[in-house]
Amino acid sequence: MGILRKTKSVKILLEEFDKKSSAISAITLVERLASELNKTTVYRVLDKLEEDKVLHSFLGKNGHKWYAKCNGCSVSGHQDSHPHFQCSDCGKVDCLSTDVLIPKIPNRKVDVSQVLLQGKCEECYV
């Protein structure tokens, strides 16, 4: 069903993703926008923006939810097949354009692949 109305909440959320290109965790958004939006609203709007393929979501290293803007992934089902990189120092998460090749797995049909790489990002990499 997705977004039907252009509300204040939708605008506020989208602005956050326009500010910076890296992914943002749901927790961060809830905290950051606490004075403007209710926690429930944040989660619900994020859900809808994902349905509308404006954002895509994935799980970070603790199993917490992260969101990032969709770029080219709206075409073929937008199942973010690109890998994500989380810095073990600063915690920042980025979408990687470098593709990870998933080999054919015998006797199994792979529909979705989640790749989360962890290490040091360009800024924390000494």
Residues that bind DNA (CB under 7 A): 1, 3-10, 25-27, 36-41, 43-45, 47-48, 63-65
- Residue 110 binding partner per list a second copy, DNA, none, with a CB distance cut-off of 5 to 8 Å that depends on partner kind: a second copy
State the amino acid at position 114 in one-letter form.
Answer: Q
DSSP 8-state symbol, 101? P
**Radius of gyration for the alpha carbons in the chain, expressed in angstroms and rounded:** 16
CB of 119 to DNA, least distance (A): 22
SS3 state at 10: helix
Using the Cα atoms of residue 103, residue 113, residue 20 and residue 53 in order, give the sign of their dihedral. Answer: positive
Least separation, in Å, of the C-beta of 6 and a second copy? 31
By C-beta, is 27 or 121 nearer to DNA?
Answer: 27
